[in-house]
Structure 1
């Protein structure tokens, strides 16, 4: 998959800088400060996995039974953009939109047919930390 990142979010920029260049000490230091040491290897591993597969359907065929599956975010309104999520670890989630090919438009939820194989370009909009175990 092709992964694009929202440059307007500091958290997303920090995440992007580290996973694209994990050997960069400045990016590693900023990532560690914002997200913590425990997330570093999981973030790089997930990034490499997402790049390895051509689409979300192929990725989910392999990782669909694990915590790292790509799934639809709940509580998205009908006229809003389709929001997908993937777990980076037990508490961190990475949220992204499905970008329509050959344009910078995102797919609206009402237009989606449920085909994960069509998701080839994703646009990361947020990386957050919530304790979902409770």
Structure 2
């Protein structure tokens, strides 16, 4: 493997496009990074749940919000709003939705999630 590897999110290795969702994924060495773009009206339980078939999102998320806003509601009752500049760790067992009329864009750094989120 080269000592430096770069790729553009504008030319991803993989793209997934479930309802109101775009996930662009690049693979760098043993890691994967995803850019998640979700449109106004997006909600995990409506747009991704039918694809994956679980009652709540079972992915672990580690990321950074580039733009837009999202609300996260965990099964344990914890809730949070995320906006531009926020970093986050979200454990499995949650729902999420876009707040407002602007798409939410986030970078996901948890390699397994980047490689599998919104994939049948």
Per the normalisation by structure 1, the TM-score is 0.33
Of Structure 1 and Structure 2, the greater strand share is in 2
Per the normalisation by structure 2, the TM-score is 0.35
Larger Rg: 1
Of Structure 1 and Structure 2, the greater helix share is in 1
